[in-house]
Structure 1
Amino acid sequence: MCQPSWPIVLAIVSALLAGCATSSIEMAPDQPDRPWVPVTNAAGEIIPDAKAPPEQAAGATHVLPVNSELAEVPSPFELDSNRRYSLAELIDIAQSNNPLTRTAWNNARNVALAAGIAKSTFLPRLTAAAIGGFQISQISGPLGTTATNELRGTISLVSFEWLLFDFGERAAIVEAANQASVISNIGFTAAHQQLIYDVSLAFYANAAARARVGNAVQSLKNAESVQAAAEDRMKRGIGTAIEVAQARQATAQARLVTIQATGAAQNAYLSLISAMGISPLTQIKVAGVSDRRLSPEMAGSVDKVIFTALARRPDILAAYAAQKASLAGVRAAEAEFLPKVFLAGTGSHNNGTLSVSGVPSIGNLSPILNLSPKGFGGTVLGGVTVPLFDGGTRAALLEQAQTKSENAGLVLTRTRDEAVRQIVLANNALRTSLSAYNAAVAVVSAAKTTFDAALAAYRSGVGSITDATMAETQLLQARNASTEAYSTALSAAATLALSTGSLGAPLQ
C-alpha cells in the first residue's frame, strides 16, 4: 500500500488555505466605476459575505438599500410644553442626556479600571484546572504480535506565581495608570465645560434671533405707520402716488425681513436643541436673556485672570498629569534593568493510570512538570531573575520613555503659552463687546428719536417720505446691532470663562 507523501499533502493544504484567504476579495465592489450591489434580507439588512447575482447588478445605482430596523425617527424629548426653560435648566437637561458627557464618563471609568488592573499585579496569580485524558499505545512483540495499552484518568492542577520585588517597576506602572485616570477625569470635566459653553452660545444665539424677530416686527409696524401717513396725505391731496408706492415698497421689504428673521430664529432654536443633544423634534419654550445685565466688571484684570486660570484649566492640568505619567514610565523602564524576586509553585493530583510527565501552559495555568504517576505532587520554587542581554531592547525602551517625558514637558509649556494667548484674546473680545454694546444702545436711542421726528414731520407736511423710510431702516439696523452686541458680549463672557477653566455653571 502506498504511503502518502506528507510534503505534498502539506503543500496542497497550504494552497487551499491561501485560496480561502484571497477568495474574500469577491466581497468588494467588482469595478471602481460600477455600483456595489449588496445582498439584503427581508428587513433590508445587508448580509455580509454574500454576492449578488449578475442579473441583479444590471441597472443598479449608488443608492444603498433601506434597513427597516434603522428607519426610526427619534422621539421628541418629553418636557413641559407650558414652561419657559432657563439656561441653567437647559444645561442640566443637556448634561443628563447628551451622549458626549456619557461617553466621557465611560472613558473615565474604563481608564480607572485600567489603573485597578495595574494595581492587581502586586497580588499573586492562582490558577486551578482539571484535565481528563486518554492514552493508547501499541507495542510490537515477537512473531509479529502487538500489545495495546489503554490508559485513562484525570489530573487536578493548581499553580501560583507571585512577583515579590521588582525595584519599583510595578509601582511606577501603577503611578502612570493613576495619572492616566486623572487625565480621563479631567477630560470628563472638560467635556461638561464644553457642553455648558456650547449650550450657552446656542442659547444666546437663539435669544438674539428671537430679538431680531421682535425688531423686524416693530420695523414692520413702523413701515405700516409711514405707509398710513403717506396714504392719508394722498387722501388730503398733499401727497403723491410716488410717496404711497415708496411707502408700500418699504412695508413689503419690512415684511420680507420679518419672514427671514423668523426662519433664522427657527434655525437658531434647532441649533440650541442640537447642542443639548436631544431629539431635534423636541418643542419647548425658552426663556429670554434681556434681564441679564452687562457691566465692565465682567472683564477683570487680565494678569489676575491668567494667574488663576493657569492653575485650573483642564488642558494644563491634563498636560501636567501626562508629564508625571511619563516620568513614571521612565522609572518603570529603568527598573527593567534590575533583578526581580519571585515565588512560584504547583500542585497536582493524578487520579487514574495516565502516564504524563508534564502539562503545558493552558490559559492562565503555568506549565507543570514532573507529575506524580498516581497521587499527589507539589513543587514550591523561589528565586531571582537577572536580565543579562536582550539585544538592546531595554535600552531602546528607556530612551523612548525619556523622549516621551521630554515631549510631555514641552507640551505642558506649549499648552501654558497657548492658554495665555486664548485668555488675552477672550478678555480683549469681552471688553470690546461690552463697549460695542454701550455704543449700540446709544445708537438705538438716537435712531429712535430720529425716526419719531421724521415720521412726525412727514405727517405734518414739512418732511419727506425718503427721510422717514431711511430713518425707519436705520432704526432697524441700530436695534439689530444692539441685539447682536448684547449677544456677542454674553458669548464673549462665556468664552472667557471657558478659557479660564471657570465655566462650571451657566453665567449669571
Structure 2
Amino acid sequence: MRPSKTSRLILLTALALAVAGCATSALDMAPDRPDAPWKPPTDATGAIKPGPEASTAGAGGGYVLPPNRALAVIPPAPAVNPHRAYALPDLIDIAESHNPDTRIAWDEARKAALAAGIAESSYLPDITASAVGAYQDGHGNNSALGLDTSGNSNAHGVISAISLRWLMFDFGERSATIEAAKQVSAISNIVFTQAHQRVIYNVSLAFYADTAARARARSAAQSLKNAKAVQASAEARYGQGVGTVVEVAQAAQATAQAKLALVQATGGVDDAYLSLLTAMGISPMVRMTIADVAPRHLSPALDAPVQAIVAEALARRPDMLSAYAAQQASLANVRAAQAEFMPKVFLSATGAYNSGGLSVTSLPAIGQLAPTGNISGSQFNGTILAGLTVPLYDGGSRAAILGQAEASADSADAALAKARDETVRQVVGAENALRTSLAAYSASKALATAAQTSYDAAFAAYQKGVGSVTDATTAETQLLQAQNAATDSYSAVLSAAATLAFTTGGLGAAPP
C-alpha cells in the first residue's frame, strides 16, 4: 500500500526537525555553565579530545586542565663539552643550529619560493584526464489484449577523455604575477637572513651581559674579602685596647653588606646565564662553561663619520631591502590588475573515446524482434579550439581590484620612506650611544683606578691608627661601585658596538 501525501509530509517534516536538532546538539561540546569548571574528555595519553564533557573531572580538578603525557618530553639539549669554555662565536654557531626562529624563517622562505614556482606554472597548459563508467538495468511486465510480455534490458559503457586548456597570451598579466611572487620570495629570503642577524645580535648582547654579571660577582667576592680584612683589623685593634666596639660594629655591618652584595651578584649571574640560553634558543637546563670577553683596547674615536654609516645602512639593512622588494611587488600587482582589462587568447583541445554495450531480452518474441538482442560499439572524437575572450562588463570588480593594487603600491612607497626614516633614526641613535658609552668607559676606568688608590690608602691608614674605620668602609664600598661601573661601561661599549653593527645590517657573524 502506497503512503498517502499526508504521511509523506509528516515524515519529511520529522526528518527536517531531526537534522535541525543535530546542529544545536553540538552545544554539549561546550562547558555546561559559566561558573563551573569544564570537564574535558581525554584519551589514554591524557590528550584532550573534542566532544561532550567527561562524566568526571580530569586530574587536578577545578580549573586545572589534565596533563597530556605526550607533551611531557623535555627537548634534547645540544651536546656540549663540559671541559671547554665556549666563546661568543661558538655560542652563535649553536644558536643558529637550534634557535627555532631561524628554522621558521627558513620554512617561510621555502614556502615563498614554492609560491613563485606555482605562479610560473601558469605558463604551462592544464591537461586533465577523466573516465566515467555507467551501468543501467531495467525490467518490465506488460499485458494487452490478453497477451503478457516481459523484458529485461541493461546498458553499460565507458567514456574516457583528455582535455587541454592553454592560455597563450594575456598582455603580461602572468609575467607581472610571477614578478610579484618572486619579489615576495626575495623578501622571505631577506627575512631569513634578518632572523640570523637578530639571533647573532641577541646572543651577543646576552653574552656581554653574562660576562659583566660574572665580573660583578668577582668584584663582589673581592669586596667581601676587603670588608673582612677591615673587620679583622678592627677586631685586632679592639683586642689591643686601641679600638672601640663601635668600630667593630661598623666593620661587621660593612661585611654583612658585602655578603648581601655577593648574594645578589651571584643571583645576577644565574639570571644572565638563563638569558643567554634563552637567546640561543636552547634548553635552560644545559650547563656549559662560558668564556670571558677577551680584553681589548677601545678607542674613544669612531672610524667612520655618521653620514657614511647611515648611507651604508640604507643600502644594506634587511628592512630597507624588504621594503624595496615589497614596493617592486606592489608595482607588479598593479600591472597584473591592469592586464585584467585586456583580452586573452587561449587554446583548447579535447580527445574522447566512448565504448558501450546494450543487451535487451523480450519474452515472448514480438514480431521480428528476437528474444535476445546485444548491441555494442565504440567511438573516438577529438576537438581543437582557439579563442579570444574579451572582458566587457563585470560590475566594476576589475576596477576595484586595480584600485586596491594602486593603494597597496602607495602604501609600499610610504613603508619604504618610513623604513628609511627609521633607519636614519636608529643608526644615529646607535652611533650616539656608542660614543657615549666609550666616553663613559674611559671615565669609569679612571674612577676605578682612583677608588682602588683611595681604598688602599684608607685601609693602610686605619691599620696604622691614623685613619677611621668609617673612611675604610666607605672607600671599600666606593671601590665596589667603581669596579661595577667600569664593568658595566665596558659591557655597554661592546653592546653598543654590536647594536650599531646590527642597525647598519652588517652583523653577519660574531662581533669582532
- TM-score norm. by structure 1 comes to 0.92
3-state SS of the aligned residue for 1:44? coil
Per-residue deviation at 1:60? 4.1
Per-residue deviation at 1:182? 0.5
Correspondence 1:187-198 to 2 at 5 A: 187-198=191-202
Note if 1:76 corresponds to 2:80.
no
| Pairing partner for 2:353 from 325, 349, 354 | 349
Per-residue deviation at 1:274? 1.1
Give the partner amino acid of 1:395. A
Closer/same/farther in 2, CA of residues 57 and 376 from structure 1, 3 Å limit: same
Name the CA distance, whole Å, in 2 between partners of 1:300 and 1:137.
Answer: 94
Name the CA distance, whole Å, in 1 between partners of 2:48 and 2:230.
Answer: 64
The structure with the largest alpha-carbon Rg is 2
3-state SS of the aligned residue for 2:446? helix
Contact 1:299 1:427 in 2 (8 A): no
Contact 2:301 2:435 in 1 (8 A): no
State the partner residue of 2:21: 19
Contact 2:135 2:154 in 1 (8 A): yes
Per-residue deviation at 1:142? 7.1
Closer/same/farther in 2, CA of residues 139 and 346 from structure 1, 3 Å limit: farther
State the partner residue of 2:370: none
Closer/same/farther in 2, CA of residues 57 and 100 from structure 1, 3 Å limit: closer
Give the partner amino acid of 2:110. R
Note if 1:287 corresponds to 2:298.
no
State the partner residue of 1:33: 35
Per-residue deviation at 1:149? 2.9
State the identity %.
56
| Pairing partner for 2:52 from 50, 53, 57 | 50
State the partner residue of 1:360: none
Note if 1:277 corresponds to 2:281.
yes
3-state SS of the aligned residue for 1:347? strand
Contact 1:94 1:277 in 2 (8 A): yes
Note if 1:436 corresponds to 2:440.
yes
Contact 1:135 1:354 in 2 (8 A): no
- 1:121-157, CA deviations, whole angstroms, 9 ceiling, x for partnerless residues? 0001112123222124568967496754311122222
Closer/same/farther in 2, CA of residues 38 and 478 from structure 1, 3 Å limit: same
| Pairing partner for 1:497 from 495, 501, 505 | 501
| Pairing partner for 1:163 from 161, 167, 172 | 167
3-state SS of the aligned residue for 2:510? coil
3-state SS of the aligned residue for 1:50? coil
State the partner residue of 1:117: 118
| Pairing partner for 1:301 from 305, 317, 321 | 305
Closer/same/farther in 2, CA of residues 437 and 336 from structure 1, 3 Å limit: same
Give the partner amino acid of 2:132. I
Closer/same/farther in 2, CA of residues 139 and 159 from structure 1, 3 Å limit: farther
Note if 1:199 corresponds to 2:200.
no
Note if 1:237 corresponds to 2:230.
no
Per-residue deviation at 1:273? 0.8
Closer/same/farther in 2, CA of residues 10 and 441 from structure 1, 3 Å limit: farther
Closer/same/farther in 2, CA of residues 497 and 9 from structure 1, 3 Å limit: farther
Correspondence 1:92-491 to 2 at 5 A: 92-136=93-137, 143=144, 147-298=151-302, 300-353=304-357, 374-491=378-495
Closer/same/farther in 2, CA of residues 486 and 386 from structure 1, 3 Å limit: same
Per-residue deviation at 1:57? 8.9
Give the partner amino acid of 1:61. G
Name the CA distance, whole Å, in 1 between partners of 2:296 and 2:379.
Answer: 85
Closer/same/farther in 2, CA of residues 158 and 58 from structure 1, 3 Å limit: closer
The count of aligned residue pairs is 491
Name the CA distance, whole Å, in 1 between partners of 2:16 and 2:297.
Answer: 79
Name the CA distance, whole Å, in 1 between partners of 2:430 and 2:466.
Answer: 50
Per-residue deviation at 1:13? 4.1
Correspondence 1:59-70 to 2 at 5 A: 60-70=61-71
Give the partner amino acid of 1:164. M
Name the CA distance, whole Å, in 1 between partners of 2:9 and 2:400.
Answer: 42
3-state SS of the aligned residue for 2:315? coil
Per-residue deviation at 1:235? 2.3
Closer/same/farther in 2, CA of residues 318 and 146 from structure 1, 3 Å limit: farther
What 5-or-longer segments of structure 1 have no aligned partner? 356-371
Name the CA distance, whole Å, in 1 between partners of 2:498 and 2:348.
Answer: 60
Alignment RMSD: 2.2
Per-residue deviation at 1:293? 3.1
3-state SS of the aligned residue for 2:73? coil
Closer/same/farther in 2, CA of residues 146 and 328 from structure 1, 3 Å limit: farther
Closer/same/farther in 2, CA of residues 431 and 58 from structure 1, 3 Å limit: closer
Name the CA distance, whole Å, in 2 between partners of 1:139 and 1:179.
Answer: 68
3-state SS of the aligned residue for 2:71? coil
Closer/same/farther in 2, CA of residues 158 and 59 from structure 1, 3 Å limit: closer
Contact 1:326 1:404 in 2 (8 A): yes
Contact 1:134 1:152 in 2 (8 A): yes
Contact 1:342 1:384 in 2 (8 A): yes
- 1:362-398, CA deviations, whole angstroms, 9 ceiling, x for partnerless residues? xxxxxxxxxx972211111111011111111101111
Name the CA distance, whole Å, in 2 between partners of 1:506 and 1:59.
Answer: 47
What 5-or-longer segments of structure 2 have no aligned partner? 360-375
- TM-score norm. by structure 2 comes to 0.91
Per-residue deviation at 1:249? 1.6
3-state SS of the aligned residue for 1:310? helix
Contact 2:127 2:162 in 1 (8 A): yes
Name the CA distance, whole Å, in 2 between partners of 1:133 and 1:75.
Answer: 58
Contact 2:30 2:53 in 1 (8 A): no
Name the CA distance, whole Å, in 2 between partners of 1:390 and 1:69.
Answer: 54
Name the CA distance, whole Å, in 2 between partners of 1:354 and 1:109.
Answer: 55
Per-residue deviation at 1:19? 2.2
Contact 1:161 1:344 in 2 (8 A): yes
3-state SS of the aligned residue for 2:380? strand
Closer/same/farther in 2, CA of residues 138 and 341 from structure 1, 3 Å limit: farther
3-state SS of the aligned residue for 1:163? strand
Name the CA distance, whole Å, in 2 between partners of 1:428 and 1:481.
Answer: 19
Per-residue deviation at 1:42? 2.9
Name the CA distance, whole Å, in 1 between partners of 2:84 and 2:31.
Answer: 54
Give the partner amino acid of 1:86. A
Contact 2:59 2:65 in 1 (8 A): no
- 1:53-95, CA deviations, whole angstroms, 9 ceiling, x for partnerless residues? 2x65999400011111112233332111111111011101100
Per-residue deviation at 1:11? 5.0
Give the partner amino acid of 1:26. D
Per-residue deviation at 1:181? 0.2
